[in-house]
């Protein structure tokens, strides 16, 4: 009679003889029915077929078991990357349901040298992301900020070289087989309900920043070649170590430090590092052949390469994924400052600056409707002509590339050759959540006010209340506005749309005020059809990069300082100029005459524009001029 294992009670003990390896003396151990006998399938084996008297003979399975490897190396846990290495998150973000495993043969063994000559390159290669699909920008988006970790300043004097031997044993692809755990899903929902974006930072600290699409398992042994580091300024990095954490084995490189003239110079010792295989107490008598032989057992494999990492938020279901995108708000996809020379030849005729050099990956993002991207632009006169003011608008046709409409506002028009500094940026949602793993303190929003012309109403000015609360006791969120036109022709090519923001104290709201003037006719005219885009900066990592400032503050600067700044600017040429994104802000609702802003090298000025030839007594240019209650909002993001 055949006796199935399942017929035994849980408290029945079985003596098992483990023959591993067969050449050694067999080991007898006792297993309880409750123990994990995952490799014994009751429907396939009957007890009397594998029992010899009272001994059950088992041998280790030589075929890689992805479930075992997943539990051993915590492959379905998120990872956290920083300057010092990669670590496994504390809490499990996913559950691996299946896995595609591909074993390597001789092609998995390779020897070579790894060279690096920059901080970013060093981080990428010592942090086990060696795939060609990963670049420095992708490392930064996963939380690495070069020069902002404990090793704040690290410069390489000479190239460094690793000699390595690598045994790639298998590839595990599993991202499409991952299901978010209930605790991860609940943590994301709780963060959204809290209304606090910082909760997402806590999630990445607990569940990780990313998880790879694919992991290469095996072992790697490599020796560090000669390296001299030129500069090391962070004190706690002296006599320190650099960790390379690849699972349970942590390997370190020791440093030898020499200090000279306030600069820390040191020579790094040559040292081997091991990933995978048995970890010896020291590497002085390292036997590479024995270590390589140990890797025949898949239980000795470790992660030697993380390929194509993605954000842990990217694998949420579509509904929750979109909620995260909307909650975290918009980000700056791209910003750039360019020099350009142009000529204004005719009165009222603008200079058109086509944005033809948008990088292809940014252009692709802009075409994605889910990203809901918008352009903002600013311009400054590099030559600083005293009486000329420049205005920038966006032309965004339904088909074709966007352009900047740049007008030169002059009291008396003269043909002029200009040297301009043009700044522009693309702002939208990141539908690929890989890009927003660390900048949770960024809070950008865009409000769009559409002004449609009808036969009955076409006013010269427009006031609108924004869905923004005003509170004089808290820091105000600066607003930056720019007009966007769908078409440009003879009916509107000489029109300049101006604006300012104001607070409505009675309703505790912020309002916008727009108007239009015709440079060709030198009069204020009815507003054309356009969209007024308003960028609201509620928070930004660099608190000095945005705000609302009174013009009076600039007057505090002494004349000597202004002269000094001007000399510095002249001596350094126009390459040091950097245009800010600015808008006028008035602390009240009174009717004022139109005011344009003019940026100079070291300050922002305001300039009321009145046309003496205007005979319309009700024209907005007849409103009173104002010198009080004027401020300007500004935003000065880093290009990139």
Q: Rounded to an integer, what distance in angstroms lies between the CA atom of residue 415 and that of residue 393?
A: 21
Summarize pLDDT for 340-384 with one digit per residue, the tens: 999 999 999 999 999 988 999 899 999 999 999 999 999 998 887
Q: What is the model's pLDDT at position 130?
A: 45
What is the pLDDT confidence band of residue 1, given thresholds at 50, 70 and 90? very low
CA distances from 517 to 330, 520, 525 (A): 32, 9, 5
For residue 276, what are its two tokens?
Answer: 């995978």
For residue 296, what are its two tokens?
Answer: 């025949």
Longest CA span, the chain: 116
Whether the predicted pLDDT of 192 surpasses 50: yes
As a whole number, mean pLDDT of residues 64-90 equals 90
Q: Rounded to an integer, what distance in angstroms lies between the CA atom of residue 525 and that of residue 300?
A: 78
What is the pLDDT confidence band of residue 242, given thresholds at 50, 70 and 90? very low
- Contact residues for 179 (Cβ-Cβ < 8 A; gap 6+): 94, 95, 97
Whether the predicted pLDDT of 260 surpasses 80: no
Whether the predicted pLDDT of 46 surpasses 90: no
What is the pLDDT confidence band of residue 92, given thresholds at 50, 70 and 90? very high
Whether the predicted pLDDT of 434 surpasses 80: no
- Contact residues for 605 (Cβ-Cβ < 8 A; gap 6+): 551, 597, 598, 599
Per the model's pLDDT, the better-predicted residue between 89 and 154 turns out to be 89
Give the bridge partners for 18, in sequence order: 27, 58
State the sign of the Cα–Cα–Cα–Cα dihedral 6, 9, 11, 12: negative
For residue 538, what are its two tokens?
Answer: 């509620």
Q: Rounded to an integer, what distance in angstroms lies between the CA atom of residue 514 and that of residue 516?
A: 7
Q: Give the DSSP letter of residue 174.
A: -
Q: What is the model's pLDDT at position 623?
A: 65
Give the bridge partners for 624, in sequence order: 592
Per the model's pLDDT, the better-predicted residue between 452 and 75 turns out to be 75
As a whole number, mean pLDDT of residues 530-557 equals 82
Question: Which element (helix H / strand E) includes 129?
Answer: none
Q: Rounded to an integer, what distance in angstroms lies between the CA atom of residue 213 and that of residue 308?
A: 5
Per the model's pLDDT, the better-predicted residue between 40 and 541 turns out to be 541
Q: Are 11 and 18 in contact (CB under 8 A)?
A: no
Least confident segment among 279-283, 562-566, 574-578, 579-583: 562-566
Cα Rg of the chain, angstroms:
33
Summarize pLDDT for 392-416 with one digit per residue, the tens: 999 999 888 899 999 999 888 889 9
Query: Strand 250-260 to strand 509-518: parallel, antiparallel, or no bridges (unpaired)?
Result: unpaired
Q: What is the model's pLDDT at position 477?
A: 82
Q: Rounded to an integer, what distance in angstroms lies between the CA atom of residue 320 and that of residue 187?
A: 12
Q: How many residues does the chain have?
A: 640
Query: Strand 389-395 to strand 479-485: parallel, antiparallel, or no bridges (unpaired)?
Result: parallel
For residue 89, what are its two tokens?
Answer: 């998150």
What is the pLDDT confidence band of residue 258, given thresholds at 50, 70 and 90? very low
As a whole number, mean pLDDT of residues 150-170 equals 64
Question: Which element (helix H / strand E) includes 511?
Answer: strand 509-518
Can you spell out the DSSP letters for 393-419?
Answer: EEE--SSS--EEEEEEE-SS---EEEE
Q: Are 209 and 312 in contact (CB under 8 A)?
A: yes
Which among 212, 183, 407, 180 has a CA at the least distance from the CA of 313? 180
Per the model's pLDDT, the better-predicted residue between 572 and 453 turns out to be 453
CA distances from 384 to 39, 380, 389, 421, 607 (A): 80, 8, 9, 11, 14
Alpha helix locations (H) across 127-218? 136-141, 182-194, 198-207
Q: What is the model's pLDDT at position 253?
A: 31
Q: Rounded to an integer, what distance in angstroms lies between the CA atom of residue 537 and that of residue 444?
A: 5
Q: What is the model's pLDDT at position 137?
A: 47
For residue 355, what are its two tokens?
Answer: 């944005």
DSSP-derived 3-state class of residue 12: coil
Express the helix, strand and coil content of the chain in percent, nearest 5 each.
20, 40, 40
Q: Rounded to an integer, what distance in angstroms lies between the CA atom of residue 466 and that of residue 479?
A: 10
Q: What is the CB neighbour count within 10 angstroms for residue 78? A: 25
Q: Are 2 and 42 in contact (CB under 8 A)?
A: no
Q: Rounded to an integer, what distance in angstroms lies between the CA atom of residue 538 and that of residue 535?
A: 10
- Contact residues for 329 (Cβ-Cβ < 8 A; gap 6+): 197, 429, 442, 443, 444, 445
Per the model's pLDDT, the better-predicted residue between 621 and 145 turns out to be 621
As a whole number, mean pLDDT of residues 135-150 equals 43
DSSP-derived 3-state class of residue 623: coil
Q: Rounded to an integer, what distance in angstroms lies between the CA atom of residue 423 and that of residue 376?
A: 8
Q: What is the model's pLDDT at position 280?
A: 83
Query: Strand 495-504 to strand 581-586: parallel, antiparallel, or no bridges (unpaired)?
Result: parallel
Q: What is the model's pLDDT at position 480?
A: 96
Q: What is the model's pLDDT at position 366?
A: 93
What is the pLDDT confidence band of residue 217, given thresholds at 50, 70 and 90? very high
Q: What is the model's pLDDT at position 246?
A: 35
For residue 581, what are its two tokens?
Answer: 């994104």
Q: What is the model's pLDDT at position 234?
A: 40
- Contact residues for 59 (Cβ-Cβ < 8 A; gap 6+): 18, 19, 20, 22
Q: What is the model's pLDDT at position 417?
A: 92
Q: What is the model's pLDDT at position 14?
A: 53
Q: Which of 138-147, 225-234, 369-378, 431-440 shows the highest mean pLDDT?
A: 369-378
Q: Rounded to an integer, what distance in angstroms lies between the CA atom of residue 400 and that of residue 403?
A: 9
Q: Are 471 and 503 in contact (CB under 8 A)?
A: no
Least confident segment among 122-131, 214-223, 270-279, 375-384: 122-131
Q: Are 309 and 79 in contact (CB under 8 A)?
A: yes
Percent of the chain with pLDDT over 90: 36
Q: What is the model's pLDDT at position 624?
A: 64
As a whole number, mean pLDDT of residues 28-50 equals 52
What is the pLDDT confidence band of residue 465, given thresholds at 50, 70 and 90? confident
């Amino acid at each position: 009679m055949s006796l199935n294992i399942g017929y035994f009670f849980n408290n029945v003990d079985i003596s098992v003889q483990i023959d591993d390896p067969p050449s050694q003396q067999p080991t007898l151990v006792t297993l309880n029915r409750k123990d994990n006998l995952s490799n014994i399938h009751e429907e396939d084996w009957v007890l009397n077929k594998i029992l010899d008297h009272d001994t059950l003979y088992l041998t280790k399975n030589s075929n890689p078991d992805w479930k075992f490897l997943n539990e051993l190396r915590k492959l379905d846990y998120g990872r956290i990357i920083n300057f010092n290495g990669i670590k496994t998150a504390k809490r499990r973000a996913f559950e691996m349901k299946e896995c595609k495993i591909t074993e390597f043969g001789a092609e998995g063994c390779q020897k070579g040298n790894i060279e690096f000559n920059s901080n970013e390159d060093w981080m990428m290669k010592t942090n086990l992301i060696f795939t060609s699909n990963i670049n420095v920008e992708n490392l930064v988006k996963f939380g690495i900020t070069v020069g902002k970790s404990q090793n704040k300043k690290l410069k390489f004097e000479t190239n460094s070289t690793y000699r390595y031997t690598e045994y790639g044993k298998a590839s595990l692809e599993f991202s499409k087989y991952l299901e978010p755990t209930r605790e991860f899903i609940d943590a994301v929902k709780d963060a959204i309900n809290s209304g606090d974006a910082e909760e997402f930072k806590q999630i990445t600290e607990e569940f990780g920043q990313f998880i790879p699409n694919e992991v290469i398992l095996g072992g790697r042994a490599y020796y560090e070649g000669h390296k001299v580091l030129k500069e090391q300024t962070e004190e706690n990095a002296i006599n320190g170590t650099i960790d390379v954490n690849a699972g349970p084995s942590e390997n370190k490189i020791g440093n030898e430090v020499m200090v000279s003239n306030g600069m820390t110079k040191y020579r790094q010792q040559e040292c081997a590092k091991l990933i995978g295989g048995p970890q010896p107490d020291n590497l002085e008598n390292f036997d590479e052949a024995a270590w390589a032989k140990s890797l025949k057992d898949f239980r000795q494999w470790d992660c030697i390469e993380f390929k194509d990492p993605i954000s842990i938020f990217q694998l949420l279901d579509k509904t929750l994924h979109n909620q995260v995108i909307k909650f975290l708000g918009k980000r700056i996809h791209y910003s750039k400052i360019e020099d350009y020379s142009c000529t204004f030849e005719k009165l009222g005729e603008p200079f058109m600056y086509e944005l033809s050099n948008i990088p292809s990956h940014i252009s692709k993002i802009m075409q994605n409707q889910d990203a809901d991207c918008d352009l903002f632009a600013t311009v400054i006169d590099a030559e600083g002509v005293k009486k000329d003011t420049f205005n920038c608008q966006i032309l965004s046709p339904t088909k074709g590339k966007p352009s900047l409409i740049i007008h030169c506002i002059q009291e008396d028009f003269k043909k002029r050759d200009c040297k301009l500094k043009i700044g522009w940026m693309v702002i939208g949602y990141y539908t690929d959540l890989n890009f927003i793993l660390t900048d949770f303190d960024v809070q950008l929003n865009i409000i769009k006010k559409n002004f449609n012309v009808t036969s009955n109403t076409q006013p010269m000015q427009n006031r609108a209340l924004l869905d923004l609360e005003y509170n004089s006791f808290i820091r105000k969120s600066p607003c930056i506005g720019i007009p966007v036109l769908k078409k440009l022709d003879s009916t509107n090519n000489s029109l300049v749309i101006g604006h300012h923001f104001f607070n409505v104290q009675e309703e505790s709201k912020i309002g916008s005020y727009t108007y239009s003037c015709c440079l060709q006719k030198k009069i204020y005219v009815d507003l054309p059809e356009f969209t007024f885009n308003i960028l609201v900066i509620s928070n930004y990592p660099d608190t000095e990069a945005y705000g609302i400032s009174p013009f009076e503050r600039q007057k505090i600067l002494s004349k000597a300082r202004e002269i000094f700044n001007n000399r510095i600017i002249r001596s350094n040429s126009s390459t040091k100029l950097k245009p800010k994104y600015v808008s006028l802000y008035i602390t009240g609702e009174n009717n004022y005459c139109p005011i344009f802003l003019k940026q100079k090298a070291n300050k922002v000025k305001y300039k009321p524009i009145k046309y003496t030839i205007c005979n319309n007594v009700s024209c907005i240019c007849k409103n009173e001029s104002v010198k009080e209650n004027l401020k300007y909002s500004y935003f000065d993001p880093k290009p990139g």
